Amino acid sequence: MRVAVLGATRGMGREVARRLATRGDSLVLLGRTPAALDELATDLQVRGARKVSTVPLDLADPTSFAPALDAAKAFLTRIDAVVITAGAFGTQEQLEDDVELCHRVLDLDFTKTILLCEEVRKRLLADGGGQLVVFSSVAGDRGRKTVGLYGATKAGLSHYLDALDHRYRSAGLVTTCVKPGFVRTEMTAGLKEPPFAADPDEVAEVVVAAIDRQSPQVYAPGIWRLVMLVIRHLPRFVMRRVGF
């Protein structure tokens, strides 16, 4: 496959890129830190990627989206899939106490991510189709005390991706919404781990399999599908009492 990846220099995105490289895919790494992108590109070439390039793209700057995607297509000739893992995070307490951080998380994880998806959508459809793979979160499946603000962005993003798949799958655009549970990354360092916490490589294995199956939605690891099924059906009075 010919794949463009945003957010590949760390955590889950890096492990997804490594798995794609190992099987010989061609990759364009999108991001805003040239040194980190170049370091990863070298790593992926060693791991077996057919070819690798890097292109600057800043999720906070929508004017960078179109030029980056055009450059990625020029390198790959055709883009089969775009994987978007980038975003921002803050705990509920941090977001409630820091207005600037709250604005950044809400803006990046919802508005800017969707604007990027729209640029991808238009280009993939113009080329006859392709796959858009976007990392959302189980935090968006139901309003919970500990992830009210962050979870709201993921709820909206998941809703958008679901609608996109309904609207354009018949036209050749395959949309895959990835819903990780708690994953041990730099983003979650120092936070108390819940049950079923996973490492990035476990998530990457699920994601690459979902890409190959063209799944519209996947929980990673898969146990979170059952966990969130239970949480979505808990009575409201129980949700008010529990601390998760």
CA of 6: how far to CAs of 29, 99, 174, in Å?
A: 6, 26, 18
Per 3-state DSSP, what percentage of the chain is helix, strand, and coil (rounded to 5)? 55, 15, 25
State the 10-residue block means of pLDDT for the chain, 244 residues long: 96 95 98 96 98 98 98 98 96 97 98 98 98 97 95 98 98 98 79 81 96 97 95 94 84
Predicted confidence at residue 190, as pLDDT, reads 75
pLDDT of residue 244: 79
Edge-to-edge, what's the strand order for the sheet holding 217-220?
52-56, 26-31, 2-6, 81-84, 130-135, 173-180, 217-220
Q: What is the model's pLDDT at position 159?
A: 98
pLDDT of residue 32: 93
Beta bridge partners of 183: 198
The structural domains of the chain, with segments of one domain joined by +, span 2-241
The span from the first CA to the last CA of the chain, in angstroms, equals 39
Q: Would you state the CATH architecture of domain 2-241?
A: 3-Layer(aba) Sandwich (3.40)
